[in-house]
Amino acid sequence: MYSLVVKGGIPLHGEVPISGAKNAVLPILAATLLTREPCVIRRVPNLSDVAFMGRILASIGAKVRMQGDTVTVQAGHIKGFGDYELVRKMRGSVCILGPLLGRLHEAKVSLPGGCVIGSRPIDLHLKGMKALGAHITIDGGYVCAQARRLVGTDMFLGGRSGPTVLGTANVMMAATLAEGVTVIQSAACEPEIVDLAHFLSAMGAKIAGAGSPTVTITGVRELHGAEHEVIPDRIEAATFAITAAATRGEITLRGARPDHFHAVLDKLQEAGARVEHRGGALTIKAGRSLRPVDVTTQPYAGFPTDAQAQMMVLMTQARGISILTERIFESRFMHVSELARLGADITIEGPSAVVKGGRQLSGAPVMASDLRASAALVIAGLVAQGETRVKRIYHLDRGYEQIDEKLRRLGARVQRVVEG
């Protein structure tokens, strides 16, 4: 197990390439199960979650070849269930449910795991599959789904915290091979859903409305192989943008899509950072001073929950009081106690974190609890005086491609070491 040792106090400058989106590539890889023909996916990030998904597809019977940032999958002869121990460890693996049910009319998938950031039930996934005609049971930690045939229908997939992204993806994939027309109301609008729709369309699916609250899928008899390039990771881009402002530096994001994370860029500008978009380059510069801002996480196109922890670190450097309210996950403030070790003054009041900013952070050993909290602690270490040791950075490797190397290219003093 590795730790990341960070020596802070240095403004970061330079250019960083933004990798393919983790939250887009996982369902896209799962979608390759919908056809017997080979599929080629490009701009695939080198992440542990991606490698994990490759192992899951292989356990089902697919032939998976990873070469650089290109993954080729051919699911010629597959079975309707994945390896229990593999699937249960990664929440994103639940997205094999829809493709297996769509193609084989049966699926047996273990209940998924993932980051400990609150309750994330898959009830909306199962609601969608039942609406298509599947019979669902939970037995021995498995979700067992069977259907003599899948039939398109109208369904509502809104939940307590808004639409379900993976649930929308799962139902979309199953519905591509269902009989008739499926209409998903309160569908997730994230760019990752649009990217999945583009890939499915390239495979021969008929999908309209992706990116809006109403998605319509007209089922087809079969899908064929296709090639696709994954969109850039908007959360990685947001993380580096926030890092630029927090370290009082200047970072150019190469390949980022500013239209995918407008809410973050808007809050950065409100906080005093400068955002310049020229041609294909997006540059974030620290302003003369940081101003406190209030943030509420919301479904897309609102401020993403996946950037809340990083933004909280930035607010520790702004003189005044900021309030960050979490409306997506009820337990996504686990990083607060670790930031306190560095000297941050943060109080939790219900769904909100009250940040009293303007205090100098000091380096200390901290423990990462989940993927985005890990990124936030690294940013805090870059801001703090002295040395910060971020433990359990395997979370980082799930969602950030070579983050330590990218930071070093920007001038950061970071080193990956074996935990003692």
| Domain regions of the chain by residue span | 2-19+232-418, 22-229
Tell me whether domains 2-19+232-418 and 22-229 share a fold: yes
Q: pTM for this one?
A: 0.96
Burial of 278: CB neighbours in 10 Å, binned 0-12, 13-18, 19+? exposed
What DSSP element (H or E) covers 218?
A: strand 214-218
Average pLDDT over every residue of 60-70:
97
Which CATH number among 3.30.300.30, 3.10.180.10, 3.30.70.260, 3.65.10.10 corresponds to the domain 22-229? 3.65.10.10
- Encoding tokens for residue 126? 């199962």
- Alpha-carbon gap, residue 155 to 180, rounded angstroms: 14
Q: 261: which residues sit within 8 A by CB, 6+ positions away?
A: 234, 235, 237, 238, 241, 304, 307
> In the annotation, is 115 catalytic?
yes
Nearest-10 crossing angle of helices 234-246, 371-383: 20
- Alpha-carbon gap, residue 187 to 155, rounded angstroms: 10
Phi, psi of 175 (to 5 degrees): -70, -20
**Selected catalytic residue, list 39, 95, 115, 189:** 115
Query: pLDDT tens, 172-219?
Result: 999 999 999 999 999 999 999 999 999 999 999 999 999 999 999 999
293 pLDDT more than 90: yes
Q: Which long-range contacts (CB under 8 A, 24 or more apart) does 203-208 make?
A: 203/31, 203/34, 203/35, 203/39, 203/176, 205/176, 206/176, 207/172, 207/176
Whole-number pLDDT of residue 160: 86
Whole-number pLDDT of residue 12: 98
391 pLDDT more than 60: yes
Beta pairing, strands 295-296 & 320-325:
parallel
> Under CATH, which number does the domain 2-19+232-418 receive?
3.65.10.10
Q: Where are the beta strands (DSSP E) in 9-132?
A: 13-17, 39-42, 63-67, 70-74, 106-110
DSSP 253-304: EET--GGGSHHHHHHHHHTT-EEEEETTEEEEE--SS-----EEB-STTSB-
101 pLDDT more than 50: yes
Whole-number pLDDT of residue 141: 80
Q: How confident is the model at residue 119 (pLDDT cuts 50, 70, 90)?
A: very low
- Encoding tokens for residue 136? 């669902």
- What single letter denotes the amino acid at residue 13? H
Whole-number pLDDT of residue 109: 87
Whole-number pLDDT of residue 142: 85
CA 94 to chain centre: 14
